[in-house]
Protein backbone atom coordinates (compact mmCIF):
# COMPACT_ATOMS: atom_id res chain seq x y z
CA UNK A 1 0.00 0.00 0.00
CA UNK A 2 1.46 3.31 -1.12
CA UNK A 3 1.51 5.81 1.73
CA UNK A 4 2.21 9.08 -0.05
CA UNK A 5 3.44 10.58 -3.30
CA UNK A 6 5.85 13.51 -3.08
CA UNK A 7 6.42 15.83 -6.04
CA UNK A 8 9.27 18.25 -6.62
CA UNK A 9 10.64 20.13 -9.60
CA UNK A 10 12.82 22.95 -10.76
CA UNK A 11 11.44 25.65 -13.06
CA UNK A 12 12.01 23.47 -16.15
CA UNK A 13 9.67 20.83 -14.74
CA UNK A 14 7.23 23.17 -13.02
CA UNK A 15 4.52 23.17 -15.70
CA UNK A 16 4.45 19.40 -16.04
CA UNK A 17 4.35 19.07 -12.24
CA UNK A 18 1.25 21.29 -12.24
CA UNK A 19 -0.41 19.05 -14.86
CA UNK A 20 0.35 15.95 -12.79
CA UNK A 21 -1.07 17.69 -9.71
CA UNK A 22 -4.31 18.50 -11.61
CA UNK A 23 -4.56 14.86 -12.62
CA UNK A 24 -4.03 13.69 -9.02
CA UNK A 25 -6.62 16.14 -7.70
CA UNK A 26 -9.20 15.00 -10.28
CA UNK A 27 -8.55 11.36 -9.40
CA UNK A 28 -8.38 11.80 -5.59
CA UNK A 29 -4.74 10.66 -5.45
CA UNK A 30 -2.99 11.86 -2.30
CA UNK A 31 0.20 13.87 -2.86
CA UNK A 32 2.40 16.55 -1.36
CA UNK A 33 4.03 19.22 -3.51
CA UNK A 34 7.48 20.19 -2.24
CA UNK A 35 8.02 22.97 -4.81
CA UNK A 36 9.18 24.81 -6.72
CA UNK A 37 6.18 27.12 -6.95
CA UNK A 38 6.73 29.14 -10.14
CA UNK A 39 8.74 29.46 -13.35
CA UNK A 40 11.35 31.53 -11.49
CA UNK A 41 14.73 29.81 -12.02
CA UNK A 42 15.90 27.57 -9.17
CA UNK A 43 18.55 24.84 -8.87
CA UNK A 44 17.37 21.27 -9.45
CA UNK A 45 19.80 19.68 -6.90
CA UNK A 46 18.04 21.59 -4.13
CA UNK A 47 14.68 20.07 -5.07
CA UNK A 48 16.16 16.59 -5.45
CA UNK A 49 17.49 16.92 -1.90
CA UNK A 50 14.19 18.15 -0.43
CA UNK A 51 12.34 15.17 -1.92
CA UNK A 52 15.03 12.67 -0.98
CA UNK A 53 14.85 13.74 2.68
CA UNK A 54 11.08 13.17 2.68
CA UNK A 55 11.46 9.61 1.38
CA UNK A 56 13.65 8.66 4.36
CA UNK A 57 10.94 9.67 6.80
CA UNK A 58 7.74 8.42 5.17
CA UNK A 59 7.58 4.64 4.83
CA UNK A 60 6.65 3.17 1.42
CA UNK A 61 6.28 6.60 -0.13
CA UNK A 62 7.23 7.38 -3.72
CA UNK A 63 8.49 10.48 -5.43
CA UNK A 64 8.09 12.10 -8.81
CA UNK A 65 10.73 14.66 -9.76
CA UNK A 66 10.75 16.96 -12.74
CA UNK A 67 13.24 19.20 -14.48
CA UNK A 68 13.59 20.29 -18.10
CA UNK A 69 14.97 16.96 -19.28
CA UNK A 70 14.68 14.90 -16.10
CA UNK A 71 18.41 14.28 -16.32
CA UNK A 72 19.83 16.74 -13.80
CA UNK A 73 17.29 16.12 -11.08
CA UNK A 74 17.57 12.32 -11.43
CA UNK A 75 21.37 12.52 -11.22
CA UNK A 76 21.10 14.61 -8.07
CA UNK A 77 18.47 12.37 -6.44
CA UNK A 78 20.47 9.23 -7.13
CA UNK A 79 23.35 10.55 -4.98
CA UNK A 80 21.23 9.62 -1.95
CA UNK A 81 21.67 5.94 -1.02
CA UNK A 82 17.97 5.25 -0.37
CA UNK A 83 16.87 6.70 -3.72
CA UNK A 84 16.46 4.69 -6.90
CA UNK A 85 15.32 7.32 -9.37
CA UNK A 86 14.37 6.21 -12.88
CA UNK A 87 14.30 8.70 -15.73
CA UNK A 88 11.53 7.40 -17.99
CA UNK A 89 10.43 8.49 -21.45
CA UNK A 90 8.10 5.57 -22.16
CA UNK A 91 5.47 3.46 -20.41
CA UNK A 92 7.71 0.42 -20.92
CA UNK A 93 10.57 2.09 -19.05
CA UNK A 94 8.23 3.01 -16.19
CA UNK A 95 6.98 -0.57 -16.02
CA UNK A 96 10.48 -2.07 -15.95
CA UNK A 97 11.74 0.51 -13.47
CA UNK A 98 9.20 -0.84 -10.98
CA UNK A 99 9.21 -4.55 -11.89
CA UNK A 100 12.97 -4.95 -12.15
CA UNK A 101 14.59 -2.02 -10.33
CA UNK A 102 12.08 -1.28 -7.55
CA UNK A 103 12.47 2.42 -8.39
CA UNK A 104 11.03 4.61 -5.66
CA UNK A 105 11.33 7.84 -7.64
CA UNK A 106 10.16 8.61 -11.17
CA UNK A 107 12.01 11.39 -13.02
CA UNK A 108 10.31 13.19 -15.91
CA UNK A 109 11.45 15.84 -18.37
CA UNK A 110 8.95 18.67 -18.60
CA UNK A 111 10.46 19.96 -21.83
CA UNK A 112 10.67 16.49 -23.37
CA UNK A 113 7.36 14.75 -22.81
CA UNK A 114 3.87 15.38 -24.15
CA UNK A 115 1.38 15.68 -21.27
CA UNK A 116 -0.63 12.60 -22.29
CA UNK A 117 2.43 10.36 -22.37
CA UNK A 118 3.71 11.81 -19.10
CA UNK A 119 0.45 10.90 -17.36
CA UNK A 120 0.53 7.38 -18.82
CA UNK A 121 4.08 7.00 -17.48
CA UNK A 122 3.01 8.26 -14.05
CA UNK A 123 0.10 5.80 -13.94
CA UNK A 124 2.27 2.87 -14.92
CA UNK A 125 4.89 3.78 -12.34
CA UNK A 126 2.38 4.10 -9.51
CA UNK A 127 0.43 0.96 -10.37
CA UNK A 128 3.23 -1.52 -11.04
CA UNK A 129 4.78 -3.68 -8.32
CA UNK A 130 8.35 -4.85 -7.89
CA UNK A 131 8.70 -8.47 -9.06
CA UNK A 132 11.37 -9.22 -6.41
CA UNK A 133 12.85 -12.74 -6.88
CA UNK A 134 16.06 -12.59 -8.92
CA UNK A 135 15.73 -8.80 -9.16
CA UNK A 136 16.07 -8.36 -5.39
CA UNK A 137 19.66 -9.61 -5.42
CA UNK A 138 20.57 -7.13 -8.14
CA UNK A 139 18.84 -4.21 -6.50
CA UNK A 140 20.60 -5.06 -3.24
CA UNK A 141 23.94 -4.80 -5.05
CA UNK A 142 23.32 -1.20 -6.13
C1 LIG B 1 17.15 24.29 -16.41
O2 LIG B 1 17.23 25.22 -17.43
C3 LIG B 1 17.53 22.90 -16.95
O4 LIG B 1 18.88 22.81 -17.15
C5 LIG B 1 17.04 21.85 -15.98
O6 LIG B 1 15.67 21.94 -15.83
C7 LIG B 1 17.31 20.40 -16.35
O8 LIG B 1 16.90 20.13 -17.65
C9 LIG B 1 18.64 19.89 -16.04
O10 LIG B 1 18.97 18.71 -16.23
* pLDDT tens string 3-29: 789 999 999 999 999 999 999 999 999
- Read off the DSSP letter of residue 78: T
Residues touching ligand 1 (Cβ under 6 Å) are 10, 12, 44, 67-69, 71-72
Annotation: CATH topology of 5-139: Ribose 5-phosphate Isomerase B; Chain: A, (3.40.1400)
Q: Ligand 1 centre from 10 Cα, in Å? A: 8
Summarised one tens digit per residue, pLDDT across range 53-66 is: 999 877 789 999 99
Summarised one tens digit per residue, pLDDT across range 67-102 is: 999 999 999 999 999 999 999 999 999 999 999 999
Label residue 57 exposed, middle or buried (CB < 10 Å: 0-12, 13-18, 19+).
Answer: exposed
Q: Which residues, listed in sequence order, are joined to residue 7 by a DSSP beta bridge?
A: 33, 64
100 as an active site residue: the answer is yes
Q: Ligand 1 centre from 70 Cα, in Å? A: 7
Tell me the C-alpha distance between 102 and 117, whole Å: 21
Which atom of ligand 1 is least distant from the CA of 69?
8
Summarised one tens digit per residue, pLDDT across range 39-55 is: 999 999 999 999 999 99
Ligand 1 pocket test target in 14, 69, 70 with most atoms within 8 Å of CB: 69
Q: Ligand 1 centre from 68 Cα, in Å? A: 4
Amino acid sequence: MLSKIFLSSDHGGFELKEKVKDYFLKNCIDFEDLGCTSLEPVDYPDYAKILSKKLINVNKSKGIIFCGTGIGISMAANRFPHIRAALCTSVEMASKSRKHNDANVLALGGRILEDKLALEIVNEFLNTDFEAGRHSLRVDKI
